[in-house]
Amino acid sequence: MTREELQQLITEVQQNQCELADIEVKSAHGGTLQRLFEPLSALANRTEGGVILFGLDESRNFEIVGVGNAHRLQEEISHLAASRSHALRGNAV
């Protein structure tokens, strides 16, 4: 995704003042959210996929607030996705 495409998604969410079917917004300013698996799973199950925009605060009219620690957030999301993927493969029949 290019910088311009990302900015377009942010603008679209801010103009609509709501999340869209394929766009989820998470503040993550105070750190990684504990209940992140649900939106990851929901977007992964969409035929077209989707995007989670971190660093926008829905309670503040989707204002850009940044994230607490971008590197740590990326690591935790990768770990969460890998651990859930492994758990699901282990339960397959």
Q: State the Cα torsion 40-45-46-51 to the nearest 10°.
A: 20
Boundaries of domain holding 42: 3-91
Domain total for the chain? Answer: 1
Predicted TM-score of the model (pTM):
0.77
DSSP secondary structure of 45-88: TSTT--EEEESEEGGGTTEE---S-HHHHHHHHHHHHHHHHHHH
For the stretch 34-72, pLDDT in tens is 677 788 778 878 888 899 999 999 999 999 999 888 898
Q: Which two tokens stand for residue 23?
A: 């766009």
